[in-house]
Amino acid sequence: MTSMLVAMISQPGPPEVLRWVSRDRPEPGPGEVLLRVRAFGINRPDVLQRKGLYPPPPGASDIPGLEVCGEVLSGDLRGATLRPGQRVCALLTGGGYAEYCVAPVGQCLPVPEILSDAEAAALPETFFTVWHNVFERGALKAGELLLVQGGTSGIGTTAIQLAHALGATVWATAGSDMKCQACLDLGAVRAINYRTQDFAEQVREHTKGRGVDVLLDMVAGDYVARELGCMAEDGRLVIIAVQGGTAAGFDASLLMRRRLTITGSTLRARSVAFKSGVALALRDKVWPLMEAGRVRPRLHAVLPAEQVAQAHALMETGQHIGKIVLTWP
Ligand SMILES: NC(=O)c1ccc[n+]([C@@H]2O[C@H](COP(=O)([O-])OP(=O)(O)OC[C@H]3O[C@@H](n4cnc5c(N)ncnc54)[C@H](OP(=O)(O)O)[C@@H]3O)[C@@H](O)[C@H]2O)c1
């Protein structure tokens, strides 16, 4: 069996616990392909996994890494549209911090020609997450108003661009004036510095009390009550992370009076069939926008693969705007 380099979490801890070691190359099973990884993306859930706070779901690789751009080498290509040598981006449940990885065929998407390997590696985790949560669960429609918390996160930069390109009006929050400007540059029409302004008051004031139709939240905790207080009638609050805590007290009568929906999801543990369905929707609805240059992943930094610990440290500074990606030579 041929070996490969992988970045392992040697023990829970700071970025330095990520160590490059040699491992056997994985073998693709039924419905899977082997990819030679060209670039892989870093996501906040990887940081949580490294700290021991987000264990891989049952059956997932213990190697971190939820998304790659790679070249199809071999595997179960019966009936698939993939061919050997093709450049794809793939959503993984783990195993992306490596020279090679296996991916379910249905979770691979062809890379639009105009994107670099690094840009392609930045796509899967945020595009699958945003598509499902904002457009499927949140049912955002053209003409509606979306508020994105954390507008300059990997998730936020994708949500702003996609919603704007699909005809919604987007507002965003961010933790500095510079980040607010970045949200505006990406297509938001209003950006609220959540450290200096109360986002809920801002929404009520600037919508004349109407509120937002869909709100993408990655904070939860005491944000939930404030968010419900600035939702439009029939509004949908979608929670995808609990950075501010899991406990959330709120006025439950608002749900009745304004007919609000609270929903949310996590992507990683969902089935291959589910993720393959999201991939089809992305191919159909979003890839044409990418091919036309109307949506493009926003990269903060592209580093050589060996700097994986530095990439985690960079994410933890919280200074990034968009995605951090590592590339193989
Ligand atoms: N449910 C799912 O399926 C799923 C999938 C992927 C990611 N996620 C979650 O989505 C979040 C974003 O992921 P990422 O990889 O894009 O991470 P990231 O780039 O590190 O983003 C974290 C963001 O959280 C924002 N934030 C923190 N506290 C905030 C507050 N009080 N108010 C508003 N914004 C606040 C930060 O804003 P500032 O930097 O401006 O302070 C930053 O933009 C993470 O929490 C991640 O775990 C969930």
What is the Cα–Cα distance from 124 to 217, expressed in whole angstroms? Answer: 19
Span 127-264: which CATH code? 3.40.50.720
Per-residue pLDDT tens for 265-306? 999 999 999 999 999 999 999 999 999 999 999 999 999 999
Atom index in ligand 1 nearest the CA of residue 243 equals 45
- Ligand 1 in reach of 301 Cβ (< 6 A): no
CA of 304 to the centre of ligand 1 (A): 24
Per-residue pLDDT tens for 230-271? 999 999 999 999 999 999 999 999 999 999 999 999 999 999
Q: Which of 42, 44, 314 to mutate to test the pocket of ligand 1 (most atoms within 8 A of CB)?
A: 44
Split at pLDDT 50, 70, 90, the class of 87 is very high
Residue for token pair 């940081």: 47
pLDDT at residue 115 above 70? yes
CA of 153 to the centre of ligand 1 (A): 6
- Ligand 1 in reach of 45 Cβ (< 6 A): yes
pLDDT at residue 67 above 70? yes
Find out if CATH 3.30.420.40 is the number for domain 3-123+268-327.
Answer: no
**Residue ID of nearest Cα to ligand 1 atom 28:** 219
Cα 17 vs. chain centroid, distance in angstroms? 24
CA of 100 to the centre of ligand 1 (A): 28
- Ligand 1 in reach of 49 Cβ (< 6 A): no
**Residue ID of nearest Cα to ligand 1 atom 36:** 150
The structural domains of the chain, with segments of one domain joined by +, span 3-123+268-327, 127-264
What is the Cα–Cα distance from 217 to 130, expressed in whole angstroms? Answer: 11
Mean pLDDT on 161-172: 98
pLDDT at residue 141 above 90? yes
Per-residue pLDDT tens for 10-66? 999 999 999 999 999 999 999 999 999 999 999 999 999 999 999 999 999 999 999
- Ligand 1 in reach of 44 Cβ (< 6 A): yes
pLDDT at 28: 96
- Ligand 1 in reach of 322 Cβ (< 6 A): no
- Ligand 1 in reach of 202 Cβ (< 6 A): no
pLDDT at residue 117 above 80? yes
CA of 155 to the centre of ligand 1 (A): 7
Mean pLDDT on 78-104: 94
Residue for token pair 């608002």: 254
Q: What is the dihedral angle through the alpha carbons of 183, 184, 187, 193, rounded to the nearest 10 degrees?
A: 50
pLDDT at 1: 65
pTM of the model: 0.97
**Residue ID of nearest Cα to ligand 1 atom 38:** 175
pLDDT at 229: 97
